[in-house]
């Protein structure tokens, strides 16, 4: 009886390994549990200091570029790019008041 139980357990483990090796169980895992794990990892990354600092640095570069550009079409292109790139970014994470106001003004159409 003990050998039968061990044999059944080993057979089950081998089937699971074979399922992941062939990609079938991995596909099922990715469609169910994997989606939640991926989403939470993305949320953690977007909340990380490195990501936030990088986004703020990018916004600062766009602000400088916008201040140096006089062509109306180029300015509109930069503003559109800012609005698109920073659409989901929480402006409250920006400690610099001038840069935060710049992003809010871009979103509200106050900068032309």
Report pLDDT digits (tens) over 2-43.
777 787 878 778 777 766 666 666 666 666 665 555 566 777
Lookup result for tokens 């006089």: 70
Q: What is the pTM of this model?
A: 0.61
Is the domain of 64 the same as that of 103? yes
Is the domain of 40 the same as that of 60? no
Domain count of the chain?
Answer: 2
With bands split at pLDDT 50, 70 and 90, how would you rate the model's confidence at 49? confident
Helices (H), the chain: 2-22, 24-31, 33-47, 49-68, 72-85, 97-108
Residues whose CB falls within 8 Å of the CB of residue 50, separated by 6 or more in sequence, listed in order: none
Q: What is the pLDDT of residue 87?
A: 86
Residue span of the structural domain in which 73 resides: 49-112
Is the domain of 40 the same as that of 91? no
Q: Is 60 exceeded by the pLDDT of residue 99?
A: yes
Is the domain of 43 the same as that of 60? no
With bands split at pLDDT 50, 70 and 90, how would you rate the model's confidence at 59? very high
What distance in Å separates the CA atoms of residue 62 and residue 109, rounded to the nearest whole number? Answer: 16
- Cβ-in-10-Å burial (0-12, 13-18, 19+) of 69 comes to middle
Is the domain of 71 the same as that of 96? yes
Q: What is the pLDDT of residue 22?
A: 67
Is the domain of 85 the same as that of 70? yes
């Amino acid at each position: 009886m003990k050998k039968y139980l061990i044999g059944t357990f080993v057979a089950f483990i081998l089937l699971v390994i074979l399922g992941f090796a062939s990609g079938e169980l991995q596909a099922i895992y990715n469609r169910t549990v994997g989606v939640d794990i991926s989403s939470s990892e993305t949320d953690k990354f977007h909340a990380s200091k490195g990501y936030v600092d990088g986004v703020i640095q990018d916004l600062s570069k766009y602000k400088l570029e916008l201040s140096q550009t006089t062509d109306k079409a180029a300015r509109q292109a930069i503003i559109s790019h800012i609005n698109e790139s920073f659409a989901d970014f929480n402006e409250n994470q920006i400690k610099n008041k001038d840069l935060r106001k710049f992003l809010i003004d871009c979103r509200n159409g106050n900068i032309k």
